[in-house]
Amino acid sequence: VQLVESGGGLVQAGGSLRLSCTVSGFADNNFTVAWFRQAPGKKREGLTCLNLKDGGQYSADSVKGRFTISTANTEHTTVHLEMNDLRPEDTAVYYCAARESIGYYYTILPYEYNYWGQGTPVTISS
């Protein structure tokens, strides 16, 4: 399984950015993709996840209403993270990760994911 993120960059506060995660290697769509971020000196933080089979989602309170996870195609090989109203505190390296889905269980705990992308940096200027 491979995951490749893209779309990071420098944005002014209040702006928007869309990150993409291209997933390959799963035999079917019975997997969950999540987005995480890690700022310098801080622990990796779970943001949101999407079960590609049943469409179930879960988001952290810190990003509800601002960040949206979605899949762009019927093959479910690309997952986006739409980020709006960006703030300087959103500056971090953003990672996507994947795991085989287990029923209706939606998680954003980093240790529960076993496949990770390389990360894409996002910088929000004030």
pLDDT digits (tens, 9 = 90+) for 53-94: 899 999 999 999 999 999 976 666 899 999 999 999 999 999
Q: From the CB of residue 86, how many other CB atoms can be counted at a distance below 10 Å?
A: 21
d(CA 61, CA 28): 30
φ/ψ (deg, to 5) at 114: -115, -5
**pLDDT tens across 27-60, in order?**
888 999 999 999 999 999 999 999 998 999 999 9
Q: Span 101-125, mean pLDDT?
A: 95
pLDDT score recorded for residue 95: 98
pLDDT score recorded for residue 60: 97
Q: Span 107-126, mean pLDDT?
A: 97
Q: Span 12-19, mean pLDDT?
A: 98
Residues of the chain with pLDDT > 90, as a percent, come to: 87
Tell me if 6 sits within 8 A of 19, measured CB to CB: yes
Retrieve residue 51's tokens. 């079960």
Tell me if 124 sits within 8 A of 13, measured CB to CB: yes
- Mean model confidence pLDDT for the chain: 94
Tell me if 64 sits within 8 A of 79, measured CB to CB: no
d(CA 74, CA 85): 28
